[in-house]
Amino acid sequence: LPRKTARLPRFLTESEVSELLDRGGPAQSPFRERDRAILELLYSSGLRRSELAALNVGDVDFVSGFVRVLGKGSRERLVPVGATALSRLREYLRQRGPTSARGESPLFVNARGRRLTDHGVAFLLKGWLKRAGWLKPVTPHSLRHSFATHLLNSGCDLRSVQEMLGHKSLATTQIYTHVSLEKLKEVYSRSHPRGRQTP
C-alpha cells in the first residue's frame, strides 16, 4: 500500500493573527472580553480547545505566567502564557462576575454561568470571524498550528515546542518543521552562497 503523506497543518501568518485578534464584535457585547481572552490564550499557549474548556481559574498563575493543563491521557503540563493573554484574562475575570458552576471554578463560562464546552469554543470563534468579516477558514486548531509554526520559525527548539503542545511523540511535532516554505526559502537565500539574487 502507498504510504500516506502527512497533511500539512493550516496556519495563519503573524500579521493575520494580529489582524484577527484586533477585530471582533461590538464593544458593548457582554462576551467580547471573554472571546478575546479565549482567542489570545489559544494563540499564546497552543492549547487544544478541549484543554482550554477544562481550565479552572486556579490553573492560571498570573505571577509566574504559566497555565496548568491536563492534556491527552491525563498528562499534566505547564505552559507559558504571554503578557497580552494574561492581561486579557484579568480583564475578562474582572468583568464576568460570579458563576453558577457547582463545586468548581471554570475559567470560561457561557451565558448561563456554566463551564464553556469545547464545542462552545469553536462556536464563539465562528461568531468572531463572522463579525470580523473574516473569509479565510480558521479553527481553534489553526491557532494551535500557528502557535507552533511561529515559535519554530523564530528559532525555538523542537523539544520545547513538543513539551508546550503536549505531544507524546516528537514525530508529531516534526510536521511543523515542514510547513513554512516561505521561511525555508528565506533561510536558503540568506545562507547559500549562490542563493542570493544577483542584479
Q: Which residues are catalytic?
A: 48, 72, 141, 144, 167, 176
- Give 129-137 contacts, CB < 8 A, sequence gap 24+: 129/20, 131/23, 131/24, 131/25, 131/26, 132/20, 132/23, 132/24, 133/23, 134/20, 134/23, 136/12, 136/16, 137/10
CA distances from 134 to 21, 120, 131 (A): 11, 19, 8
Q: What is the CA radius of gyration of the chain?
A: 19
Pairwise CA distance, residues 147 & 165, whole Å = 9
- Residue 136 in grid coordinates: 479565510
3-state secondary structure of 81: coil
- Burial class (CB within 10 angstroms; exposed 0-12, middle 13-18, buried 19+) of 21: buried
The DSSP 8-state label assigned to residue 9 in this structure reads P
